[in-house]
Structure 1
Amino acid sequence: MLYKELAELYRRLEKTTLKTLKTRFVADFLKKVEDEELLEIVPYLILGKVFPDWDERELGVGEKLLIKAVAMATGINAEWIENSVKDTGDLGESVALALQKRKQRSFFGQPLTIKRVYKTLVKVAETTGEGSQDRKLKYLANLFMDAEPIEGKYLARTILGTMRTGVAEGLLRDAIAEAFRVKPELVERAYMLTSDFGFVTKIAKLEGNEGLSKVTIQIGKPIKPMLAQMAANVREALVEMGGEAEFEIKYDGARVQVHKDGDKVIIYSRRLENVTKSIPEVVERIKKSIKPEKAIVEGELVAVGEGGRPRPFQYVLRRFRRKYNIQEMIEKIPLELNLFDVLYVDGENLIDTPFIERRKKLESIVEVNQWIKVAENLITKSPEEAEEFYHKALDMGHEGLMAKRLDSVYEPGNRGKKWLKIKPTMENLDLVIIGAEWGEGRRAHVLSSFLLGAYDPGTGTFVPVGKVGSGFTDEDLVEFTKMLKPLIKKEKGKFVEIEPKVVIEVTYQEIQKSPKYESGFALRFPRYVALREDKSPEDADTLERIAQLYELQERMKAGKR
C-alpha cells in the first residue's frame, strides 16, 4: 500500500473540522487495508505516531537532524529550510517546499510504501551507539529522496510528533467500529484491556464482535487505569458506597502498573509509558517481593524524604525522566512502592472480581518490606473512624484518602463513583495548553500566558476554561517556549494557537460559570503547579469533569453555610 494514500488521508483530515467526517475518512481508509501486518501498523500512523506510548522505542530525531536529512536528500541548503519555517510556521510545510524545489533525485528511486516508511522508522528508533546519528541521517535521507512533497510534509510531522490532523483515541475507536461493523463498546473494552490499537484493529477486521469479546489481559500490554471522582468528605463517600467502604491512604506519588513475568518486570506510568529502565532498584525489589510467577499489580511510587516523609510527586517524575547517572538519582530520590490493587495472577484475570477479594489476594502475594508495601487501609461503616483515619493520613504528609466500594469490579479507563477521592482542598486540574501569548518587555521573546482547554467529548475538541500566567519562573517560561514553538498552528498578533499536546496541572480559587468561554466555565485565579509529563491530552480533565467539580464545590459551600 503506497504511503501517498496515507498522506492523502492526512490531507483530507486536516481540511475538515467535522468529527463525523473525520471518522468516516479513517473508517474508509481502514477498510482498504488488506495486509494483516499493515493492520497493526496503520492505526498508530493515523494517530501520527510510530509506536504505542507503552513501547519504549523512540525515534530520537530532532528538528536539526530532520532538516539535515531533507537537505541531503534535496540538495537544498539547510539554512534555507530553517528560514522557510519562519514563513510557513510548520516544518512539515517547509519540507514540502524543499521537495518541490529539489535539485537532485535518486536514479533508482521507487515510490514510498507504508511498510517501507514504517520499517525505516523502526530502524531509526533501534539505531544506537557510536555513529548512530550518522546512520539515522542516512535512513531518513533515503526516505525523503523518494518522497513527493505531500508525503514529505506528513513524514516530517510523524517523525517530530506534530501531526495536527485532529485524530485522537476516541475518534480512532469510532472509526474501527464503523469500518468493520462491530460494536463500539467492544472496541472500547478491547482497547482498555490491551492499550493496543493495532491488535484491536486486526481482531475487529478478522474476527469481528466475537473476537473482540474474547480479548483479555495480556502481560506486557498495559491496562487503562480505573479512575476516581471526588467526594466532599468521608460522610458523603460512605453514603455513596452504600454505608460501608474500604478507605486507603491517598499517596502523593506517581501511579504505576507493574507487569511481572518470571524475572522480567515492566513498569508503566499512569500515562502507560514504559519507565522500567529509569527505576532499576524498584524492578529488583519487585522480583523479590511479588511471589507469583506472573502478576499485574497497581500502586503508587512515592519519593521518600527525611524521616520517611513523602516528597511531592514531581520528584518521582524526575526519576522517570532520568536516562543517565541513574545510580546517583537512586541515592538522591529513594522510592517506596505502595501497592493497592491486583488485576492478574498466574493466568487468572481478576478485573471482574469484587475489590474486597482483590485486596485479600494482593495481601497474600506481596512480601512486604521497607520499600514495597500494601497501601494502609481501613474498612469501616463509621464516619468517625473514617474521619480519624483521614486526619492520620494528612498528618503523615499524604494527600488524603481513597474510598472504594467493597463489591466494585475493576473498570479500565472509567471514572465512576465506585472509587472516590477525599482531600482537604478542591482537586487540582490537569488541562491542555491550546493557546499562548508572547510576553512584553524582558519577556518579549517567551510565551508567558497560556490558554487552557478541557476535552469536550461532544465536539471532540479542547474548549477553553481560562488563562494562566502565574506560578511560572523565568526558567519555566523559557522551557515552555522551546516545548510549544514546534506546536504553534496559527499566529494572530501576540496570540498563538497551540496543538493540544502539553498537559499542565493548575490550582485555582474556584470554578465559576462564565459566558466568556465556549466551555461555559472559567477558573478563578488559576496558578501553574507542574508539567504533567506523565499524562497525555487524552488523560487530561474533561468538560464533564469540570462540571462535576463545580457541583461538588457548590455542595461544599452549602455544607459550610
Structure 2
Amino acid sequence: MVTVLFSEVVETSAAVGATRSRLAKVAALADLVRRMTTPAVVSFLIGVPSQGRIGAGYRTVFDIAPPPALEPSLTVDEVDAALGAYAAISGKGSAQRRVEALTSLFARATAAEQDFLRRLLTGELRQGALEGVMLDAIARAADAPGEDVRRAFMLSGSLPDTAVAALKGELGAFRLELGRPVRPMLASPAESLPAALAELGACVVEHKLDGARIQVHRSGDSVRIFTRTLREITRTVPELVALVRDLPCTSVVLDGETLALNDDGKPRPFQETMSRFGAQDERELLLSPFFFDCLHLDGEDLLDAPLSARLDALRRVAGAHVIPGVVSPSSEQAEAVLENALSAGHEGVMVKALESVYAAGRRGRSWQKVKPVHTLDLVVLGVEWGSGRRRGLLSNLHLGARDPDGGPPVMVGKTFKGLTDELLAWQTRELMALATEKNDWVVTVRPELVIEIELDGAQVSPRYPGGVALRFARVVRYRPDKDPAEADTIDAVRALLPQPTTPPDLPT
C-alpha cells in the first residue's frame, strides 16, 4: 500500500474549502480516505491532530518560521509521529526542546504544508460542520451504507476509528460499551405543538429543561458521567455519582439533563449549572438529574428498542428522577404539559415518537422540540469593539449559521443586545484568546464558541452571503456544552423567513 504524503492532505483540504458543492467535497475526501494508511489522515482533514490538543501555543507556532522545503517529502505518518513526540516532551528544558522539535518538523515542510500545520495546531482548521460530509465520504470510500457508518460513529465517538473499521468491512464490530460515551441523539425544531403531535402520532411529551445534557454509565460500583460533547466530568459531580450508584441495577446507561435548582424547585441560571462542569472539585451548588432515556440496563442494550420499551426500562431504574411528561397524551394533555413546563421555568417541551430507535448524527424528525420563542444556536465569527460605557470591551457579535455541506459558517447577522456587564467582560477575555485578526474596529475569531440567540424571525437580505438576516436578535447565553457541529444550519435560519416573501432561489 502506497504511503500517503502529507501534501495530499493539504491539497485535499484546500480543494474541499474551495468548493460549495457537497458532492465535490465528498468525492475529494473519499478519494484520499480510500487510500489512507493511517487514521491520522481523517484527523488532519477534520482539523484535529490525532493526539487532540498537544499544547502548541499560538505565538510559538507562528514564531517558528524556518525556510520552507521546495518539494513535498513528509508523509502523514511522519507528521503524526512528530506531533505525538512533541506532545510527550516534558520536564526541565521542555519548552526549548519543544521549539526545536517543531522547528525540525516545519523545516521539512513546504510553504503550503507549513501554513496547514499552523492552522492545524492553533485550531483554525477545526471545522465541526465537516463531520457530516466526512461520514458520507467514509461511506463512499468503503462502499458502505451511510446508516451503518453513522451508527458506528455514534458508538465509537471517533471519525478516524470509524473510517478504519469501514475500510476493513468491520463496522458491525462496534457495540455499546459501558464507560465509553455514545454520541447523543438530537432533536429538530417543531413548527408548533399541534404540528408535532400530528406528524409523530403515538408519542411522549415531556419537559424540555434549561439544563445541561449528561450521559451516565454505571457498571457495578463504577460510575462515569459525560457531557453532550463526550467530555468526562465524573470527578466534579460527586452528588450525581452517588445518586447513580444507588439506583436499583448493576449496569445502566442513561441519557438526561442536569441542572441546579432554587429552593422553590425552579432552575437556576444555565451558567451556574455549567460552572460545575468546569470546576476542579465539588462546589456547594448541587446538581439535580432528570433522565429521559435508557440505552442499556443490566446487560441488555436498548439502542435498537423502540422508545416505548426504553421508557419502561427508564421508569424501572430511575424512578423519581425521570423527567416529567405524559405518554400518548391527548392534545389537551400535551398543552397542559407545555404550560406546566413553562410555569416551572423550563424552555418548553420535547415531543418524541414512541416507535423511534436511538440514533445520533443528522437531526431527524422523530424527536422534536417545541419552544414559545424562536432561538438559534449560532457560531461567533467575530466581534466589534464597544463604545461609550462599553469602550474597551468586545461588544457587537458577528453571528454565523452552520453550512450543512461542510463549508465555513455563513454570517447571518450581528447583535450586542442582551449582554450583561459580566458577560461582556467574559466574552472579551474568551474571544481575545480565539482571535485570528485584530484591528481598531473588529476582532475576527476562530469559529469555536456557540451562542444561543433569541430572535423575532428572519428576513431576506443581500447584505449577508446566505441571503437572509436575523430580525431583532438578542443574546440568551453562551453554550459551552455545544460545539460548532451542533450549531443550527443556514437552512434553519431560512426556514424562519415569512413564506409569502421567500425568494425562489436564495444563494447557496
Report TM bin, short chain: 0.7 to 0.9
Give deviations 1:194-232, integer Å, cap 9, x for gaps.
22112211111112xxx3255433334432322223345
Aligned position for 1:300: 257
Aligned position for 1:6: 6
Q: Could you tell me how far apart the structure 2 residues matched to 1:165 and 1:248 are? A: 33
User: Is 1:348 equivalent to 2:300 in the alignment?
Assistant: yes
Q: Which of 335, 354, 357 is equivalent to 2:309?
A: 357
Give the 3 Å change call, closer, same or farther, for CA 224–408 of structure 1 in structure 2.
Answer: same
Give deviations 1:93-135, integer Å, cap 9, x for gaps.
x53xx22299xxxxxxxx97655654565566678xxx75854
1:438-453 map, 5 Å: 438-440=385-387, 446-453=393-400
Give the total of aligned pairs.
492
Aligned position for 1:533: 480
Give the 3 Å change call, closer, same or farther, for CA 114–346 of structure 1 in structure 2.
Answer: farther
Aligned position for 2:344: 396
Q: Could you tell me how far apart the structure 1 residues matched to 2:394 and 2:2 are? A: 40
Q: Could you tell me how far 1:537 is from its partner in structure 2?
A: 0.9
**Does structure 1 conserve the Cα–Cα contact (< 8 Å) formed by 2:6 and 2:74?**
no
The amino acid that maps onto 1:62 is G
Answer with 295-304 or 487-496: which moved more.
487-496
**Does structure 1 conserve the Cα–Cα contact (< 8 Å) formed by 2:131 and 2:406?**
no
Q: Which of 215, 225, 237 is equivalent to 2:184?
A: 225
**Does structure 2 conserve the Cα–Cα contact (< 8 Å) formed by 1:297 and 1:339?**
yes
Q: Could you tell me how far apart the structure 1 residues matched to 2:141 and 2:191 are? A: 43
Aligned position for 2:492: 545
Q: Could you tell me how far apart the structure 2 residues matched to 1:144 and 1:287 are? A: 50
Aligned position for 1:27: 30
Q: Could you tell me how far apart the structure 2 residues matched to 1:133 and 1:446 are? A: 38
**Does structure 1 conserve the Cα–Cα contact (< 8 Å) formed by 2:188 and 2:364?**
yes
The amino acid that maps onto 2:135 is R
Aligned position for 2:134: 172
The amino acid that maps onto 1:315 is E
Answer with 464-473 or 118-127: which moved more.
118-127
Give the 3 Å change call, closer, same or farther, for CA 59–220 of structure 1 in structure 2.
Answer: farther
User: Is 1:100 equivalent to 2:67 in the alignment?
Assistant: yes
The amino acid that maps onto 2:6 is L
In structure 2, the gaps of 5 or more residues are 502-508
Q: Could you tell me how far apart the structure 1 residues matched to 2:458 and 2:331 are? A: 28
Give the 3 Å change call, closer, same or farther, for CA 416–141 of structure 1 in structure 2.
Answer: same
Q: Could you tell me how far apart the structure 2 residues matched to 1:490 and 1:11 are? A: 24
SS of structure 2 residue aligned to 1:237 = helix
SS of structure 2 residue aligned to 1:466 = strand
Aligned position for 1:269: 227
**Does structure 2 conserve the Cα–Cα contact (< 8 Å) formed by 1:238 and 1:381?**
no
Q: Could you tell me how far apart the structure 2 residues matched to 1:505 and 1:553 are? A: 27
Give deviations 1:479-533, integer Å, cap 9, x for gaps.
4344445655567984565442221111123333334333233211111222211
User: Is 1:416 equivalent to 2:367 in the alignment?
Assistant: no
**Does structure 1 conserve the Cα–Cα contact (< 8 Å) formed by 2:196 and 2:351?**
yes
Q: Which of 205, 212, 230 is equivalent to 2:171?
A: 212
Aligned position for 2:506: none
Give the 3 Å change call, closer, same or farther, for CA 185–405 of structure 1 in structure 2.
Answer: closer
Q: Could you tell me how far 1:385 is from its partner in structure 2?
A: 2.6
Q: Could you tell me how far apart the structure 2 residues matched to 1:526 and 1:442 are? A: 21
User: Is 1:238 equivalent to 2:202 in the alignment?
Assistant: no
Q: Could you tell me how far apart the structure 2 residues matched to 1:417 and 1:117 are? A: 42
**Does structure 2 conserve the Cα–Cα contact (< 8 Å) formed by 1:296 and 1:344?**
yes
Q: Which of 278, 285, 294 is equivalent to 1:321?
A: 278
The amino acid that maps onto 2:350 is M
**Does structure 2 conserve the Cα–Cα contact (< 8 Å) formed by 1:196 and 1:221?**
no
Aligned position for 1:407: 355
Give the 3 Å change call, closer, same or farther, for CA 553–123 of structure 1 in structure 2.
Answer: farther
Q: Which of 327, 335, 359 is equivalent to 1:379?
A: 327
Q: Could you tell me how far apart the structure 1 residues matched to 2:24 and 2:364 are? A: 30
Give deviations 1:6-37, integer Å, cap 9, x for gaps.
25522552365115555444434334433xxx
Give deviations 1:60-108, integer Å, cap 9, x for gaps.
45335x36xxxxxxxxxxxxxxxxxxxxxxx3xx53xx22299xxxxxx
**Does structure 1 conserve the Cα–Cα contact (< 8 Å) formed by 2:132 and 2:406?**
no
Q: Could you tell me how far 1:438 is from its partner in structure 2?
A: 4.0
**Does structure 2 conserve the Cα–Cα contact (< 8 Å) formed by 1:14 and 1:164?**
no
Q: Could you tell me how far apart the structure 2 residues matched to 1:3 and 1:432 are? A: 37
Give the 3 Å change call, closer, same or farther, for CA 381–552 of structure 1 in structure 2.
Answer: farther
**Does structure 1 conserve the Cα–Cα contact (< 8 Å) formed by 2:128 and 2:485?**
no
Aligned position for 1:521: 468
* TM-score calculated relative to the size of structure 1: 0.76
1:57-72 map, 5 Å: 58-63=53-58, 66=60
* TM-score calculated relative to the size of structure 2: 0.83
Q: Could you tell me how far 1:189 is from its partner in structure 2?
A: 2.9
SS of structure 2 residue aligned to 1:318 = helix
- Give the % identical residues: 34
The amino acid that maps onto 1:388 is A
User: Is 1:45 equivalent to 2:44 in the alignment?
Assistant: yes
In structure 1, the gaps of 5 or more residues are 68-90, 103-110, 555-561
Give the 3 Å change call, closer, same or farther, for CA 553–510 of structure 1 in structure 2.
Answer: farther
C-alpha RMSD of matched pairs (Å) = 3.6
Q: Could you tell me how far 1:251 is from its partner in structure 2?
A: 1.6
**Does structure 2 conserve the Cα–Cα contact (< 8 Å) formed by 1:14 and 1:166?**
no
Give the 3 Å change call, closer, same or farther, for CA 382–280 of structure 1 in structure 2.
Answer: same
User: Is 1:337 equivalent to 2:289 in the alignment?
Assistant: yes
Q: Could you tell me how far apart the structure 2 residues matched to 1:533 and 1:132 are? A: 32
The amino acid that maps onto 1:506 is I
**Does structure 2 conserve the Cα–Cα contact (< 8 Å) formed by 1:433 and 1:453?**
yes
**Does structure 1 conserve the Cα–Cα contact (< 8 Å) formed by 2:382 and 2:397?**
yes
Give the 3 Å change call, closer, same or farther, for CA 30–404 of structure 1 in structure 2.
Answer: closer
Give the 3 Å change call, closer, same or farther, for CA 183–387 of structure 1 in structure 2.
Answer: closer
Q: Which of 164, 178, 192 is equivalent to 1:202?
A: 164
Q: Which of 233, 238, 241 is equivalent to 1:283?
A: 241
The amino acid that maps onto 1:13 is S
Give the 3 Å change call, closer, same or farther, for CA 184–310 of structure 1 in structure 2.
Answer: same
Give the 3 Å change call, closer, same or farther, for CA 485–309 of structure 1 in structure 2.
Answer: closer
Give the 3 Å change call, closer, same or farther, for CA 29–392 of structure 1 in structure 2.
Answer: closer
Between Structure 1 and Structure 2, the one with more helix by share is 1
User: Is 1:255 equivalent to 2:213 in the alignment?
Assistant: yes
Q: Could you tell me how far 1:336 is from its partner in structure 2?
A: 0.5
Q: Could you tell me how far apart the structure 1 residues matched to 2:124 and 2:408 are? A: 17
**Does structure 1 conserve the Cα–Cα contact (< 8 Å) formed by 2:68 and 2:114?**
no
Q: Could you tell me how far apart the structure 2 residues matched to 1:215 and 1:302 are? A: 32
Aligned position for 2:101: 142
